[in-house]
Structure 1
Amino acid sequence: MGTFIRPSVGTPASTPTAVDAVRAYAARVRADADRLAAVFEDIAPWNPQRPEGRTQPVSL
């Protein structure tokens, strides 16, 4: 019939799981995206928040 092996029995609560790893990775990606967005907001000449960066709208 086979032996049933109970997973994660006796493991401490502080053991990182795959879910924890994905959450940590997602947090790093969000932080990187925020930093990159801040850089582009500083250097982008087309930034609509800056009056000097406004251009005529492009019609397609």
Structure 2
Amino acid sequence: MAKYEMLIAASGKRGSALLPCVVVDEKGIKRAAVRAKAMARACYPEYEKFNVVKMKVISDE
């Protein structure tokens, strides 16, 4: 099963950042994106907007 690497783009009044990647399997990728965005909001309150910006296949096993 393929695995994906996602980056979360965060932005706010004081700037923007690419937050650490999250690795998920193909089956749960949509739910994982929602969870990753929620976790980013909790961990980085200085940002206002969060988006999944990149999904990259890292394995086809």
Tell me the TM-score normalized by structure 2.
0.31
Higher helix share: 1
> Which structure's CA Rg is the greater one?
1
Structure ranking higher on relative contact order (CA contacts 8 Å, 6+ apart): 2
Higher strand share: 2
